[in-house]
Amino acid sequence: MKIENNKTAWSVAAVLVIVISVVYIYRSSQSQLPAPVYDPILTSLGETAAVETARLMKEEGRIVLITYDGEQDDVTYGNETTRAFRKRLAAYPKISVIGTAVVPHPPVNSDFAHLRLLLAKQCVDAVKNYPMADTFVSFVGLPDFTETELGQLPATRPHFVAVGVVVSPSDAARLISPGIIDIALARRSTPPTDGKAPQTVEEWFDRHFEIISPPR
Protein backbone atom coordinates (compact mmCIF):
# COMPACT_ATOMS: atom_id res chain seq x y z
CA MET A 1 0.00 0.00 0.00
CA LYS A 2 2.85 2.38 0.85
CA ILE A 3 4.50 1.73 -2.51
CA GLU A 4 1.25 2.46 -4.33
CA ASN A 5 0.82 5.71 -2.37
CA ASN A 6 4.36 6.74 -3.30
CA LYS A 7 3.65 5.99 -6.97
CA THR A 8 0.50 8.09 -6.79
CA ALA A 9 2.36 10.98 -5.17
CA TRP A 10 5.09 10.83 -7.82
CA SER A 11 2.46 10.76 -10.59
CA VAL A 12 0.73 13.83 -9.18
CA ALA A 13 4.05 15.62 -8.82
CA ALA A 14 5.00 14.81 -12.41
CA VAL A 15 1.70 16.17 -13.70
CA LEU A 16 2.18 19.36 -11.67
CA VAL A 17 5.67 19.82 -13.10
CA ILE A 18 4.31 19.46 -16.64
CA VAL A 19 1.50 21.93 -15.98
CA ILE A 20 3.86 24.47 -14.42
CA SER A 21 6.25 24.09 -17.36
CA VAL A 22 3.49 24.66 -19.90
CA VAL A 23 2.27 27.76 -18.05
CA TYR A 24 5.82 29.13 -17.84
CA ILE A 25 6.47 28.58 -21.55
CA TYR A 26 3.15 30.21 -22.47
CA ARG A 27 3.78 33.27 -20.30
CA SER A 28 7.33 33.58 -21.60
CA SER A 29 6.13 33.48 -25.20
CA GLN A 30 3.45 36.05 -24.46
CA SER A 31 5.93 38.42 -22.85
CA GLN A 32 8.03 38.32 -26.02
CA LEU A 33 5.19 39.59 -28.21
CA PRO A 34 5.66 43.20 -29.31
CA ALA A 35 3.64 45.53 -27.13
CA PRO A 36 1.14 47.77 -28.89
CA VAL A 37 2.78 51.09 -29.67
CA TYR A 38 0.85 54.30 -29.05
CA ASP A 39 1.55 57.04 -31.53
CA PRO A 40 -0.84 60.01 -31.38
CA ILE A 41 -0.17 60.86 -35.04
CA LEU A 42 -1.04 57.39 -36.37
CA THR A 43 -3.90 57.04 -33.88
CA SER A 44 -5.45 60.26 -35.12
CA LEU A 45 -5.11 59.01 -38.70
CA GLY A 46 -6.82 55.70 -37.92
CA GLU A 47 -9.66 57.19 -35.89
CA THR A 48 -10.40 59.92 -38.41
CA ALA A 49 -10.31 57.38 -41.24
CA ALA A 50 -12.93 55.32 -39.42
CA VAL A 51 -15.22 58.34 -38.96
CA GLU A 52 -14.87 59.43 -42.59
CA THR A 53 -15.40 55.89 -43.88
CA ALA A 54 -18.53 55.50 -41.74
CA ARG A 55 -19.86 58.79 -43.08
CA LEU A 56 -19.20 57.64 -46.65
CA MET A 57 -21.07 54.39 -45.98
CA LYS A 58 -23.94 56.13 -44.20
CA GLU A 59 -22.95 54.14 -41.11
CA GLU A 60 -23.78 50.70 -42.44
CA GLY A 61 -22.21 48.07 -44.68
CA ARG A 62 -19.25 45.73 -45.04
CA ILE A 63 -15.59 46.70 -45.18
CA VAL A 64 -12.47 44.93 -46.40
CA LEU A 65 -9.09 46.28 -45.26
CA ILE A 66 -6.03 46.22 -47.52
CA THR A 67 -2.75 45.99 -45.61
CA TYR A 68 0.82 44.87 -46.11
CA ASP A 69 1.80 41.30 -45.31
CA GLY A 70 2.64 40.97 -41.62
CA GLU A 71 0.58 44.03 -40.61
CA GLN A 72 -2.85 42.42 -40.64
CA ASP A 73 -2.49 41.47 -36.96
CA ASP A 74 -3.54 44.44 -34.86
CA VAL A 75 -0.93 43.83 -32.15
CA THR A 76 2.10 44.07 -34.43
CA TYR A 77 4.46 47.01 -34.14
CA GLY A 78 3.79 49.83 -36.53
CA ASN A 79 0.13 49.03 -37.04
CA GLU A 80 -1.31 51.70 -34.80
CA THR A 81 -3.35 53.14 -37.66
CA THR A 82 -5.40 50.00 -38.37
CA ARG A 83 -5.76 49.27 -34.65
CA ALA A 84 -7.17 52.77 -34.05
CA PHE A 85 -9.37 52.40 -37.13
CA ARG A 86 -10.94 49.16 -35.87
CA LYS A 87 -11.39 50.51 -32.36
CA ARG A 88 -13.16 53.68 -33.53
CA LEU A 89 -15.23 51.73 -36.04
CA ALA A 90 -16.75 49.75 -33.16
CA ALA A 91 -18.94 52.80 -32.50
CA TYR A 92 -20.87 51.92 -35.67
CA PRO A 93 -22.67 48.63 -34.99
CA LYS A 94 -24.09 48.37 -38.52
CA ILE A 95 -20.61 48.36 -40.07
CA SER A 96 -18.52 45.19 -40.07
CA VAL A 97 -15.02 44.33 -41.26
CA ILE A 98 -15.52 41.11 -43.20
CA GLY A 99 -11.94 40.48 -44.30
CA THR A 100 -8.40 41.67 -44.89
CA ALA A 101 -6.68 41.60 -48.27
CA VAL A 102 -2.94 41.20 -47.69
CA VAL A 103 -0.43 42.51 -50.22
CA PRO A 104 3.35 41.87 -50.19
CA HIS A 105 5.73 44.58 -49.09
CA PRO A 106 7.21 46.46 -52.07
CA PRO A 107 10.93 46.23 -52.78
CA VAL A 108 13.14 48.88 -51.23
CA ASN A 109 13.41 52.08 -53.30
CA SER A 110 10.37 51.16 -55.39
CA ASP A 111 8.89 53.79 -57.67
CA PHE A 112 5.61 55.16 -56.27
CA ALA A 113 3.95 55.29 -59.69
CA HIS A 114 4.74 51.61 -60.23
CA LEU A 115 3.45 50.77 -56.76
CA ARG A 116 0.14 52.51 -57.44
CA LEU A 117 -0.32 50.48 -60.63
CA LEU A 118 0.57 47.28 -58.78
CA LEU A 119 -1.84 48.13 -55.96
CA ALA A 120 -4.61 48.71 -58.49
CA LYS A 121 -4.27 45.14 -59.74
CA GLN A 122 -4.30 43.87 -56.16
CA CYS A 123 -7.43 45.92 -55.43
CA VAL A 124 -9.17 44.35 -58.42
CA ASP A 125 -8.26 40.92 -57.04
CA ALA A 126 -9.60 41.94 -53.61
CA VAL A 127 -12.91 43.05 -55.14
CA LYS A 128 -13.21 39.71 -56.92
CA ASN A 129 -12.44 37.84 -53.68
CA TYR A 130 -14.91 39.89 -51.63
CA PRO A 131 -17.86 40.62 -53.94
CA MET A 132 -20.11 41.28 -50.93
CA ALA A 133 -17.99 44.19 -49.66
CA ASP A 134 -19.30 47.74 -49.95
CA THR A 135 -16.05 49.54 -49.19
CA PHE A 136 -12.33 48.80 -49.46
CA VAL A 137 -9.98 50.73 -47.19
CA SER A 138 -6.37 50.77 -48.33
CA PHE A 139 -3.67 51.32 -45.72
CA VAL A 140 -0.94 50.81 -48.34
CA GLY A 141 -1.45 53.76 -50.64
CA LEU A 142 -3.41 54.81 -53.71
CA PRO A 143 -4.62 52.37 -56.38
CA ASP A 144 -3.95 53.92 -59.81
CA PHE A 145 -6.51 52.03 -61.90
CA THR A 146 -6.07 51.79 -65.65
CA GLU A 147 -9.06 51.65 -68.01
CA THR A 148 -8.57 47.89 -68.27
CA GLU A 149 -8.75 47.44 -64.49
CA LEU A 150 -11.71 49.79 -64.15
CA GLY A 151 -13.49 47.62 -66.68
CA GLN A 152 -12.92 44.58 -64.45
CA LEU A 153 -14.77 46.17 -61.54
CA PRO A 154 -18.48 45.46 -61.09
CA ALA A 155 -21.04 47.84 -62.56
CA THR A 156 -21.99 48.91 -59.03
CA ARG A 157 -18.50 49.91 -58.01
CA PRO A 158 -17.57 49.64 -54.30
CA HIS A 159 -16.18 52.60 -52.42
CA PHE A 160 -12.41 53.02 -52.16
CA VAL A 161 -10.75 54.87 -49.29
CA ALA A 162 -6.99 55.50 -49.19
CA VAL A 163 -5.32 56.05 -45.83
CA GLY A 164 -1.67 56.64 -45.08
CA VAL A 165 1.40 58.77 -44.67
CA VAL A 166 2.53 57.80 -48.20
CA VAL A 167 -0.60 59.34 -49.75
CA SER A 168 0.06 62.77 -51.24
CA PRO A 169 -2.73 65.36 -51.64
CA SER A 170 -1.97 65.98 -55.34
CA ASP A 171 -2.08 62.29 -56.27
CA ALA A 172 -5.24 61.82 -54.23
CA ALA A 173 -7.01 64.76 -55.89
CA ARG A 174 -6.11 63.40 -59.33
CA LEU A 175 -7.80 60.07 -58.54
CA ILE A 176 -10.78 61.53 -56.67
CA SER A 177 -11.76 63.97 -59.39
CA PRO A 178 -12.86 61.26 -61.88
CA GLY A 179 -14.37 59.17 -59.08
CA ILE A 180 -11.71 56.44 -59.04
CA ILE A 181 -11.43 56.68 -55.27
CA ASP A 182 -13.90 58.30 -52.90
CA ILE A 183 -11.84 59.65 -49.99
CA ALA A 184 -8.16 59.96 -49.21
CA LEU A 185 -6.61 60.83 -45.87
CA ALA A 186 -3.29 62.23 -47.01
CA ARG A 187 -0.24 63.73 -45.39
CA ARG A 188 -0.49 67.49 -45.14
CA SER A 189 1.77 69.23 -47.64
CA THR A 190 2.05 72.37 -45.50
CA PRO A 191 1.75 71.63 -41.77
CA PRO A 192 0.39 74.41 -39.54
CA THR A 193 3.03 76.76 -38.16
CA ASP A 194 1.13 78.19 -35.19
CA GLY A 195 3.47 76.41 -32.77
CA LYS A 196 0.55 75.13 -30.70
CA ALA A 197 1.05 71.64 -29.31
CA PRO A 198 -1.83 69.36 -30.38
CA GLN A 199 -3.89 67.88 -27.56
CA THR A 200 -6.89 66.14 -29.12
CA VAL A 201 -7.26 63.55 -31.88
CA GLU A 202 -8.65 66.24 -34.16
CA GLU A 203 -5.69 68.56 -33.51
CA TRP A 204 -3.14 65.81 -34.12
CA PHE A 205 -4.85 64.92 -37.38
CA ASP A 206 -5.16 68.51 -38.59
CA ARG A 207 -1.49 69.13 -37.93
CA HIS A 208 -0.24 66.19 -39.97
CA PHE A 209 -2.98 65.15 -42.41
CA GLU A 210 -5.84 66.41 -44.52
CA ILE A 211 -8.98 64.89 -46.03
CA ILE A 212 -9.26 64.89 -49.81
CA SER A 213 -12.80 64.27 -51.04
CA PRO A 214 -15.24 65.51 -53.67
CA PRO A 215 -17.22 68.64 -52.78
CA ARG A 216 -20.19 67.80 -50.58
CATH superfamily of 40-212: Response regulator (3.40.50.2300)
- The full set of domain ranges for the chain reads 1-32, 40-212
Residue 211, CB-side half-sphere exposure with 13 Å CA sphere: 22
pTM metric for this prediction: 0.75
| CA gap 119, 101 in Å, rounded | 11
| CA gap 50, 52 in Å, rounded | 6
pLDDT in tens, the chain (216 residues): 544 544 454 454 444 434 334 444 444 444 444 444 558 888 999 999 999 999 999 999 999 999 887 654 554 434 788 889 999 999 999 999 999 988 877 666 655 555 666 678 888 889 899 999 999 999 888 877 778 888 888 888 899 999 987 777 888 888 888 888 899 998 887 776 767 788 889 988 988 899 988 876
